[in-house]
């Protein structure tokens, strides 16, 4: 006869409401005897087998029609056993999950509770492993306010009563080792809220792979999973450490629309690797920035509403396939940057929203936790566990997939509590200000962790406000990023280029204003995806004039960009003058390269990258004022000229841009030193689609001009940037 407490425990297990299954299921000593209990819904018979001999030790008695079984094993010492259950005509033998001890150690739980576990992904999620001599998968999830947590999948008919998890109450972590599960198993977490509400199934926050939509479950996988061959590349990256004195030319790529396969299908990571990597190498780019990578529900997005922070999107293949792409890039000397989104996440019920029946990852108050511009939820940066989740995620991509850096999206939205909000729609910080102190601390912690754990890695902030010292070290009061996108430069120069050349003279001050603050941060000059969506048109479409002038304007603009201090970034398609606006559902218009004017722009971009990388004066002082020396901003002719200097005093390049369609013959330009000057780049060259107005070698004369001791007499082609290199000193 069962006592009332045992009956209540059995009823709770059967109902799926018991919060401590290990107190009921599995073997339990009761005095000198051992009781064994198991729940096998649908089973008609269950035997206990000796794991060594498979001999029957005992048959369990079925206590109710729901499938709860138990047996008195007598005065037996603990032994390894398996269960054999009959389901109709099927007989299944399996190890009992409730015979195994915890898979998480006290140190892991302690560090997680403090928010200081930098390798959380090694403990949370789903990990194939051998535990206590048996192969299976160890699951762990943080859900401190859940009444019950279960792992469900095909392996248990998606029945949350079959595999309820063990709770570590001090930190709210649930874990369970399930024997017999292998790589590729599909699973989700089923959570019972504290009030007894059964929540929608959740994908694993730490899942390493995910189903393609409409599937929403996670997949047991190993991150990385490739045989890496990039040791030499990574050692060189660690030695360079930061690229301040080196060229950085970034090719920004949306994987789903860079190139499509037959029938407009997505290419796989491996197909992309075999095509994209040699393409980027051929054009001289140093890095490729990939978007979208982390798993997200909406095909038509940049991937900025992430539901799987630890999962490379399955749209293009497996985690191993993504690792292949990174490894292949490194083999060709190309660094990989990821667009990383730690600021907000979507409201999809299978994601992080209302995860355990409470606002666990997000702020409860919508004035702090809801983003009105994007209809997303904002991470609670005031919670240690949430910050730990995000910091560990940053390190995960660097450690497991060898990526070279992170471009952090929407930093401004994280820094300001009133971002995109009206008065009364936000809550001031504890000092009454608008700064999000938790987010500031999180960003600093992330950057310290990235640069501390992965020497040679990069972090780049997409930040559009005047927040000070974004790219200065944390110890100096900064946010700790390596670089910041120069959004002001992008906005001002594009507005200038859209202006009819007839009126550009009046806008020249706006163009050159960027030199005032060019070294206030370590800048990347972006011509990014943001400028080719939502009715903005392509870069080519922004250029004024007839067809010839539009291409000439674009070429001159690119030349000016590569001369200007700052690292470089071009969104895909810009390198060959894509004509239409970006469309997520189709490939770039590669057929345009059959036209000479588009092929010419592509050739120019390649030559600009190689020239930028080859001439140290164009990159050594990218982040320091010593790298620029002004010559002229001639409003009468709309000509801008300056000197880019390297660390060697004799190493410099003279940059000249004519922003009008008028050829300037016999233009006397001041230069810093005597010698012979030749064109390293002339964006008007016929090979680029230009008119072919050019200069041969030009000797500097000892006639001062523009406050320089020497000068040269040159012809400046229409709508053109010239990069002039001094060949040798005058004899």
Q: Nearest 5°: phi and psi at 564?
A: -70, 140
The Cα–Cα gap between 121 and 395 comes to 9
Half-sphere exposure (CA, 13 Å, Cβ side) for 522?
A: 24
Q: Are 712 and 668 in contact (CB under 8 A)?
A: yes
Q: Nearest 5°: phi and psi at 441?
A: -60, -40
In this structure, which long-range contacts are made by residues 227-233, counting pairs with CB atoms below 8 Å and at least 24 apart in sequence? Answer: 228/323, 228/327, 228/402, 229/327, 229/330, 229/331, 230/326, 230/327, 230/330, 230/331, 230/402, 233/330, 233/331, 233/333
Catalytic residue among 462, 463, 521, 607: 462
Tokens at 128, concatenated: 């194939």
| Helix, strand, coil distribution of the chain in percent, nearest 5 | 30, 30, 45
Q: How many residues does the chain have?
A: 731
The Cα–Cα gap between 29 and 577 comes to 75
529 Cβ contact partners less than 8 Å away, ≥ 6 residues apart: 252, 254, 291, 302, 571, 582
Whole-Å CA distances, 164 to 21, 41, 154? 6, 14, 15
Check if 409 is active-site. Answer: yes
The Cα–Cα gap between 409 and 530 comes to 12
- Residue indicated by tokens 């566990």: 385
The answer, yes or no, to whether the previous bond of 247 is cis (omega within 30 of 0) is no
**30 SS3 class:** strand
The DSSP call for residue 708 is B
**481 SS3 class:** coil
How many other CB atoms are there within 10 angstroms of residue 300's CB atom? 9
Query: If we measure between CA atoms, which residue out of 13, 87, 95 comes closest to residue 45?
Result: 87
Cα 355–chain centre separation: 23
636 Cβ contact partners less than 8 Å away, ≥ 6 residues apart: 505
Catalytic residue among 175, 252, 362, 409: 409
Check if 575 is active-site. Answer: no
The Cα–Cα gap between 420 and 27 comes to 57
The Cα–Cα gap between 726 and 708 comes to 15
Helices (H), 21-74: none
Q: Using alpha carbons only, what angle is made at residue 673 by residues 669 and 674, rounded to the nearest 5 degrees? A: 90
Catalytic residue annotation: 409, 462
């Amino acid at each position: 006869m069962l006592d009332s407490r045992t009956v209540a425990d059995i009823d709770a297990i059967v109902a799926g409401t018991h919060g401590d299954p290990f107190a009921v299921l599995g073997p339990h000593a009761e005095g000198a005897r051992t009781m064994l209990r198991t729940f096998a819904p649908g089973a008609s018979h269950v035997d206990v087998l000796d794991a060594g001999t498979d001999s029957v030790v005992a048959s369990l008695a079925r206590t109710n029609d729901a499938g709860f079984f138990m047996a008195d094993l007598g005065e037996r010492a603990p032994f390894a056993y398996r269960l054999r259950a009959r389901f109709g005509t099927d007989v299944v033998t399996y190890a009992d999950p409730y015979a195994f001890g915890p898979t998480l150690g006290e140190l892991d739980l302690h560090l997680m509770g403090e928010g200081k576990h930098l390798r959380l992904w090694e403990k949370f999620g789903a990990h194939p492993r051998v535990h206590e001599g048996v192969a299976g998968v160890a699951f762990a999830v943080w859900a401190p306010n859940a009444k019950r947590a279960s792992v469900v999948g095909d392996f248990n008919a998606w029945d949350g009563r079959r595999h309820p998890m063990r709770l570590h109450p001090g930190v709210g972590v649930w874990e369970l080792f399930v024997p017999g599960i292998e790589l590729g198993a599909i699973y989700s977490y089923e959570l019972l809220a504290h009030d007894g509400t059964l929540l929608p199934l959740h994908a694993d926050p730490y899942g390493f792979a995910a189903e393609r939509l409409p599937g929403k479950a996670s997949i047991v996988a190993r991150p990385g999973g490739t045989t890496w061959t990039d040791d030499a590349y990574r050692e060189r990256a660690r030695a360079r450490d930061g690229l301040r004195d080196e060229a950085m030319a970034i090719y920004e790529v949306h994987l789903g629309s860079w190139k499509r396969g037959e029938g407009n299908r997505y290419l796989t990571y491996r197909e992309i690797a075999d095509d994209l990597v040699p393409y980027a190498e051929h054009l001289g780019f140093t890095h490729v920035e990939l978007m979208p990578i982390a798993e997200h529900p909406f095909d038509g997005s940049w991937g900025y509403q992430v539901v799987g922070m630890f999962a490379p999107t399955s749209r293009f293949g497996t985690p191993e396939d993504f690792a292949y792409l990174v490894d292949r890039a490194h083999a060709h000397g190309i660094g990989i940057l990821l667009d990383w989104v730690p600021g907000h996440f979507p409201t999809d019920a299978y994601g992080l929203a209302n995860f355990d029946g409470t606002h666990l990852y997000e702020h409860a108050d919508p004035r702090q936790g809801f983003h009105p511009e994007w209809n997303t939820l904002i991470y609670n940066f005031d919670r240690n566990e949430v910050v730990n989740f995000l910091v560990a995620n940053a390190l995960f991509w660097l450690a497991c997939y060898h990526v070279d850096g992170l471009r952090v999206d929407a930093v401004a939205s994280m820094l300001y509590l009133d971002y995109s909000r009206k008065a009364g729609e936000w809550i001031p910080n504890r000092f009454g200000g608008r700064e999000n102190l938790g987010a500031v601390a999180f960003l600093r912690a992330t950057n310290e962790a990235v640069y501390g754990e992965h020497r040679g890695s990069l972090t780049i902030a997409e930040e559009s406000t005047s927040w000070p010292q974004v790219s200065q070290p944390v110890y100096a009061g900064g946010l700790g990023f390596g670089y910041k996108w120069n959004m002001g430069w992008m906005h001002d120069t594009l507005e200038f280029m859209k202006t009819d050349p007839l009126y550009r003279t009046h806008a020249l001050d706006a163009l050159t204003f960027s030199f005032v603050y060019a070294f206030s941060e370590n800048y990347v000059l972006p011509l990014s995806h943001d400028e080719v969506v939502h009715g903005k048109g392509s870069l080519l479409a922004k250029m004024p004039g007839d067809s010839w002038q539009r291409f000439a304007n674009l070429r001159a603009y690119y030349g000016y960009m590569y001369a200007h201090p700052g690292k470089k970034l071009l969104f895909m398609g810009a390198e060959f003058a894509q004509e239409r606006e970006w469309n997520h559902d189709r490939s770039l218009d590669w057929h345009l390269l059959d036209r000479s004017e588009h092929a010419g722009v592509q050739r120019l971009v390649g030559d600009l990258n190689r020239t930028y990388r080859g001439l140290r004066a164009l990159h050594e002082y990218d982040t320091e004022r010593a790298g620029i020396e002004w010559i002229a901003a001639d409003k009468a002719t709309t000509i801008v000229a300056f000197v880019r200097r390297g660390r060697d005093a004799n190493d410099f390049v003279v940059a000249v841009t004519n922003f009008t369609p008028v050829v300037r013959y016999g233009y006397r330009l001041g230069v810093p030193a005597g010698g012979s000057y030749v064109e390293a780049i002339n964006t008007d060259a016929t090979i680029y689609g230009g008119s072919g107005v050019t200069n041969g070698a030009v000797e500097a004369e000892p006639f001062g001009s523009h406050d320089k001791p020497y000068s040269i007499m040159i012809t400046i082609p229409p709508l053109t940037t010239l990069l002039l290199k001094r060949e040798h000193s005058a004899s």
